[in-house]
Structure 1
Amino acid sequence: MSEKNSGFDLETVKKLADIVKSNDLGEITVVDGDKRISVKGKVCLAGSAPAPVTAAPAAPASAPAVSREEKASGNSVKAPIVGTFYSAPSPDAEPFVTVGKTVKKGDTIFIIESMKVMNEVLSEFDGVVKEIMVSDGDPVDFDQTVMVIG
């Protein structure tokens, strides 16, 4: 096998593999004109969908900060990766959660699209959705508070 397999050099393939591994992605696909490469991560036993990303539990703040996050008391659900927030599995579907909806630990509460991969985010908490801080299609940063569950 040569280093120029399918028009992508070995270094590009290695970088894509590192991205998949470091972000715990199921798969990444890159298209450049007529060239296409897919790098798959861990195999999902439940099907071909990417593995769900679990939101990290909120760490207690060491110093009080005045921000929008402070308005609603409860558990902050933070974005586990950088990407685009989606409240529903498709544009014409109902949102996973809405303000006032009761959720249980393990329920899918939103999706973050990162590098063309849809990553389901699961609730780490039981409770009621008190506030959703972003709108459908908004970009989110790593560790940004997306919603509050109380």
Structure 2
Amino acid sequence: MDYQQILELVKEVSKAGLTNFEYTEGNIRIAMSCPQPEEKIVVPASNIALQEAIGVSANSVNGANTAGTEGVAAQSQAAEAVGEKGGNLVKSPLVGTFYTAPSEDAEPFIKVGDTVKKGQTLAIVEAMKLMNEIESEFDGVVTEILVENEENVEYGQPLFRIQ
């Protein structure tokens, strides 16, 4: 099995969302495992300002502690905030480190306002020392880049908005 075949195998296993995978061919054995991503609670600043404006804290509703439902509410608010603007979201197919360019001194693959075609490389996500190209799933114009360069990303995290 050559290097390109291994890269393709990693991409397909990541795309399928598998947490464990093992492959044996002759004396070659490849085992991959990916821990379940931790659920992060992201509350956009606009939601915090709204809560402060109406006098409701994230921890209480009518004086009752809602720690058990707080994460679910914050997650749904964050998802609504990302989805409010419309367009198509390109999401991370795996957990790793997000890079906007092929190297530190190179120009970014794309910028806000660029027109992209389906299959065009938008960024790279590094996982286990392998560089995985993130390709556009849509034709359109990049209206928003939702992740900063060298930021850690989770599986399914929105990376770009394309309209």
TM-score with structure 2 setting the length: 0.53
Out of 114, 121, 129, the position equivalent to 1:108 is: 121
- What CA RMSD, in Å, does the superposition of the two structures yield over aligned residues? 2.5
Cross-structure match for 1:131: 144
Name the structure where strand makes up a greater proportion of residues. Answer: 1
Judging changes above 3 Å, is the alpha-carbon distance between structure 1 residues 130 and 23 closer, same or farther for their aligned structure 2 residues? same
Identical columns (%): 49
Matched, 1:22 2:22: no
1:82–1:141 contact (8 Å) kept in structure 2: yes
Name the structure where helix makes up a greater proportion of residues. Answer: 2
Out of 114, 118, 130, the position equivalent to 1:117 is: 130
Judging changes above 3 Å, is the alpha-carbon distance between structure 1 residues 113 and 39 closer, same or farther for their aligned structure 2 residues? farther
User: 2:131 is matched by which residue type in structure 1?
Assistant: M
> How do 1:52-71 and structure 2 match up within 5 A?
65-67=76-78, 68-71=81-84
Q: CA offset at residue 72 of structure 1?
A: 2.9
Q: CA offset at residue 40 of structure 1?
A: 7.3
Cross-structure match for 1:82: 95
Using the alignment, how far apart are the partners of 2:96 and 2:29 within structure 1?
19
Q: CA offset at residue 73 of structure 1?
A: 1.7
User: 1:129 is matched by which residue type in structure 2?
Assistant: V
Q: CA offset at residue 69 of structure 1?
A: 1.2
Cross-structure match for 1:62: none
User: 1:143 is matched by which residue type in structure 2?
Assistant: G
> How do 1:16-55 and structure 2 match up within 5 A?
20=10, 22-23=13-14
User: 1:70 is matched by which residue type in structure 2?
Assistant: G
Which SS does the other structure have where 1:118 is aligned?
strand
- Cα deviations by residue, 1:58-83 (Å, 9 ceiling, x for unpaired): xxxxxxx4334134320000000000
- Cα deviations by residue, 1:2-36 (Å, 9 ceiling, x for unpaired): xxxxxxxxxxxxxxxxx947337xxxxxxxxxxxx
What is the number of residues matched between the two proteins?
96
Which SS does the other structure have where 1:66 is aligned?
helix
- Cα deviations by residue, 1:87-132 (Å, 9 ceiling, x for unpaired): 0000100000110000000100010000010000111100000101
TM-score with structure 1 setting the length: 0.57
Cross-structure match for 2:63: none
